Structure 1
Amino acid sequence: MMKKVLFVDDEPLIAQGLSSILDWNKYGIEIAGTANDGLSALEMIREEPVDLLVTDIMMPRMNGLELIRKIKDNEENKTKFIVLSGYEEFEYVKAGIQLGIENYILKPINLEELESTIRHIRGDWEREEIQQVQFEEDWEVLRSNILQRWVSGEIESQEFKHRAQLLGLPLDREKYRLYVIRPILTENCDIIQKVGAIMADPCRELIRAMERLKPRETEVISFMDPDGDMVILYASCGQKDDAAVQRQVKATAQALPGSLEASFWISEGGPGADFKGVQFSYARAKSVFHRFLITGTDRIRFTDADEQGTAASPMIEWNSEKYVELLIEGNTEPVEHFIGEVLWSACRENLTPREACVNTALQLMLAAKEREENPDYSEVFGPLSRISTLPSLIRHVTATVSKSMERQDTVRGEYSPHVAFLVEQVHRHYADELSLKTLSQKVGLHPNYLGQLFQQELGHSFSDFVNQYRIEKATQLLMHTDRKTTEIALSVGYLDTSYFYRQFKKYAGVSPTELRHMYTK
């Protein structure tokens, strides 16, 4: 569950700057807002409590210490506090320490000290959660989170060992063998690859079978990672034969009933490793999904360590001019045939290198999207990270391009003069502040009435239209330039970088960083 942070400082630039000084999402924290004095902050917290308050001391109306005292008057409140101060405010800082603040940080803010404090606070939150949920349903979620941090190398060994004792995890074993299992749902389901019950059920059936058939003196540890893949760890006391465990995993998967309507791609993390080697095994197993696509129709696809070497990326050559001509002609059948021929040309017998295929798929989809008036990029990028097979990639591209062509064929009536004015303003001034209140004054209409006209003619609100157009421009800059994400955010009208990230994920389906990883210039 995401924690919430509120920034309070009478200097607006500092309060807003705190929002972008760190990648707060990295620490499981979302920004609740900013306030410029203690009284305003107290009103916001009474309306919606926060988990962390970062506050200046010297402020008008109510200073930071008074704010902390007021919040602590509520015995149920569990907010943690970080105080910002100047050197001349040391007596106030001592008073803050007596109130139980987590840390005080001198201005200008030391980024490393702030990050260290946040990591410490996150550890406190996790310890509190462990105590709270030992006998609740959230226990399994917390266990998965801790295990994920272990295999990803995001938790110190001593800290993890302490948590593992509370969670009952076996850390005294000599060898850990790791497998990552990705379910590939039948037909078009694997284009969308929903993370949740649809994916979890087939995996849980497989996990139960593995636990029933596990070798002697071996314990099976399993959890679902953030990508919706199941991670399996065989923890054994003795030096069990790696090949025997591998045969057992394959046999268990093959024995699953066909009624589950799912195929499985199982990636091996390499030979058994000790406690510290699990992170390398996890990274090795996961890398297969990022580097390859599978093409066969086998129900169980097992990729062992020997198959995970570097594969030469195929050169995919295609005639872009001919493709654009087909798009202009507007017949979907020859377009779909063209897409299939291009992508199947990259096919390899076992594992097909992923990067060239995905880059080509993006070029094919974007060529069609560029012809739309208001393209929706979420349907292009969103599903890509969960596509595991070459046939699924081809189906995704053809479906996306076909929808785009259908939209282009739709006859749109002329916009009314007032709505046409709004559309033109967005196209010309999207990098500036735009509001119906301001623009309505120029056309002599009430902003509510103008907003209703816009909604009726375009099918969505004016703010949605502005955000979608800005994200479209940002997407083009991310794909075709090397400019920093913060610069791009400013150039398309977002002063708050964290707000830009949220809007980009909402409209594009992926984060700016994920988009750049998917698309190479």
Structure 2
Amino acid sequence: MLKVLLVDDEPYVLEGLKVMLDWEAHGFRICGEASNGEDALEIVRVCNPDLIITDISMPRIDGLELIRLSTQKLKSTAKFVILSGYDDFSYAKRAMLYNASNYLLKPLDDVELDSVVTKLAEQIRQERKKTENINKQLSFIANQSIMRLINGDNKPSLIGRVGMLLNIAEDEELRCILFEIDSAESWAHGEEKIGLNMNRIQAGKVIEDALGPAFQLHIFEDGKGRIGIIASEKMPFFNSLEELAQGLLIQLNQICGDVVYASISDSEKGLSLISKAYRQALFAIGFKFYSPDKSFIKYENVKGLNINFEMCTEDYNTLLELIRSNRADEIEPVVGRLFENFSQNLSAPQIIIAYLMSFQMELVKVIMEINGDLQEFLTLALEFQKTAEHMNMPELRGEFLKQCLSAASHINGFKQGNPQYIVSEVKNYIKQNYCNDIKLKEVARHFYMNPVYLGQLFKKFSGMQFNDYLNTIRIEEAKKLLQRTDMKVSEISSAVGYNDPKYFLSKFKAITNLPPSAFKTGKTT
């Protein structure tokens, strides 16, 4: 759809222009109306109309000056139709000098206006088609040249070529804007990948429309699916680039389903610094994970920060225990503190996701121990891994919390009246407390059960007596200490819960058929 701007200081003329023609039938939509040249000039700057119908005699800025400023200052390629109440050849002559397409006298004749608009609409389409064909070839050349430049090729000949194609002087001020639709292309397959590519095509069209024909070559793709703009001070909107980018971000998120991020570099001076500006924008967009509302990220706000790629060492046993015991009111604060630590450390998304996936596998182990619905949790874990890559921090926190609460609810539901779950919990209790002097009575008291009944349940569902299982766990831990440390046997005995070293030795031999010294020296055969 082509855009037309109507300009006249007489309200009834403006109203007449709106209804005199069926603009949509001619392929136009009215992008603005103005009663003076100043307002009209602002609309030209923002909307970049294809056709401007303007009165010649207006206060402050008249129609001829509007044409001059639009074409020379704003680089508008619009067609102009001049309206005048005076049959004055000098006006017509001056209008034609400014490349006005037509000069119509008031009162307007609707047939004549219809004929002029029909002719101009066809002319605009033909010129646009021709320009698009030329621009496709130039865009390819420009994109390849920009790609080489941002990848570090600073040959003077290449810099000169980019400057010529983009009409940027060597000492001109410039900035780089990047738009990213999601973060990785590798996740997309089949219909998803087609949808992602369609989003990029649509996004590119929106950006082209916003910049206008004069600046199409300033748009590039960086080879990683990101769309960039090399903005220079010749652009009429250079001083309001951030507002332009934020407006585009809103449009692109509406088109692409709210998965677009944007960043902008600092201002640099000189064509040779295009690569630097690009790297700044690229660095800034790397912080999209911490952006709460997929907002516009400025390099100046993040240039002193660094993403942390060290492995997370947060202990998740507390959270696992809360999930096991279904203490839902305590789960959310613990998850909150976990993610606060991630944010404070600026942990890399990959590191956070790896940590959360490790936790998911621990949850799967818990479900396996109680013979719960393992398939359901494996499916949830895999789905979480797939979607987590495309979430920002608040979204990831919300999804992870939901998974934890769901697991707690599932385990609690299974726990009710399920003796096998109780045995699983007793085993877990033993693994956590084997180094203490624990006995069946104390464990039964911890689980509010009769010790005789708990002993029977444990034997039935584990195949071992309580004390036999406790000794097995202790000896397994002792073997690890023997092989990995220089501790004395008496020290290891105490460390795994035996007060009497002789008793420890007897149990060790009974379970392993070997003395501790065999493991200490590595002679286990």
Superposition TM-score tier, normalisation by shorter sequence: 0.3 to 0.5
- TM-score norm. by structure 1 comes to 0.37
Q: Which has the larger radius of gyration?
A: 2
Relative contact order, CA 8 A, sep 6+: which one is greater? Answer: 1
Structure with greater proportional helix content: 2
